[in-house]
Amino acid sequence: MHLFSFSDCLRIDWNFEHGNSTFEFDNKTLQFKNYLWQWRNCVVQQNESSICQGCQKQYDTLFVFYWKIFSDPNTFFCIDVDSEMNDTMKLWQIVLGCSDIPIDRTQDTTVLIFSVTVLAIVLGLFYAGSYIQSEQIHANLIHYSRMREAQPIAARSRILSSSTLDSSNLHSTPTSSLHL
């Protein structure tokens, strides 16, 4: 009698002398297979338009069980179980067009709404601050129309530009206050 064990999957008891070899699956593998068969039976019994709604509970149960084992670093499945679950997820999502587990959809929606809200608040604060800042700068500027009232046009024109000098100043020569 020869005993061979795959600790993550099954245990095989080879008994070639008596023609009585046996194998025994691990409990978590048997439980996974049970959930998988429940889901497959549900899919077979539903019509094509109602598979997603009619079998969502069985798929969620299968996926939650698989994910609990898969995410535990100290527990392992057979590679066959991983492969079967990958095929099942592809069949559920791509071929049948059904959505993932509802918990993930809720989390994705929450993150999306939160991100858009934060972006809108930051954008609103930026534009509000920009508007307030521009109003303060605008209030401190000296308006051109106010300058006209405060000073005569001739004096202002000499300050602003030399091209606006009147003709009386064309032939005048600058005088110096320094006398030698």
Q: What angle do CA 148, 150, 155 make, to 5 degrees?
A: 70
Tens of pLDDT along 109-122? 888 898 999 999 99
**35 membership: H or E segment, kind and range:** helix 27-45
pLDDT, residue 67, reads 86
Considering only 82-86, 88-92, 93-97, 131-135, which range has the smallest mean pLDDT? 131-135
39-44 — which CB contacts under 8 Å span 24+ positions?
Answer: 39/88, 43/96
- Mean pLDDT of the 95-120 span: 79
Please, how many CA atoms are within 13 Å of residue 24, restricted to the half-sphere of its CB? 7
Q: What are the C-alpha distances in Å from 103 to residues 72, 84, 97, 110?
A: 19, 22, 18, 11
